[in-house]
Amino acid sequence: MHSCFDVAKYFLAQSSEDAGDLISNLKLQKLVYYAQGFSLALSGRPLFDEHIEAWLHGPVIPALYHHYKDFGSGHIPHPVAFDLGIFTAQERELLDEAYEFYGQYSAWRLRQLTHDESPWRESYREGSNQVIHRDSMTRFFQTQVVH
């Protein structure tokens, strides 16, 4: 199994500063969340083990947040020496589709999308970072995929 950092680096490696396609910590959190959700729905398996919590601004992987928090709301640069080959062809397809669809949105738009979805809505408690359970994500994301 991969780590949330592997998935994050995959998305960061896809971004293009020249095209104005920049990824902030907030946007990265949402992209990694969506990748995990679609993996659960399509394969029945998580892409990574780290838990996701319902924070004020949507789903967050705490370890990933703390790793990149020094960038603030600025963009995170491309990873150095990252091997995309650690992912299977099926995983790369899933990640590419998630990035193609959700990568077009701003961080704030992705935040709004997650606020309208049941995994975050059912888990969020003001002032308390609650875990978003995988079964909740699986149920929701299964309604979002075309079989």
Going 11 to 9 to 75 to 81, the CA torsion angle's sign is negative
Does some domain include residue 82? yes
Name the residue range of residue 103's domain: 4-142
Whose tokens are 């020496």? That residue is 81
| Confidence label for 147 from pLDDT (cuts 50, 70 and 90) | low
For the entire predicted model, the pTM comes to 0.94
Which pLDDT band, with edges at 50, 70 and 90, does 81 fall under? confident
pLDDT given for residue 82 in this prediction: 86
- The answer to whether residue 147 is domain-embedded is no
Domain contains 67: yes
For the cut 90, the answer to whether the pLDDT of residue 84 exceeds it is: no
> How many domains does the chain contain in total?
1
In a domain, 19, yes or no: yes
- pLDDT at residue 78, as a whole number: 86
Does residue 85 sit within a domain?
yes
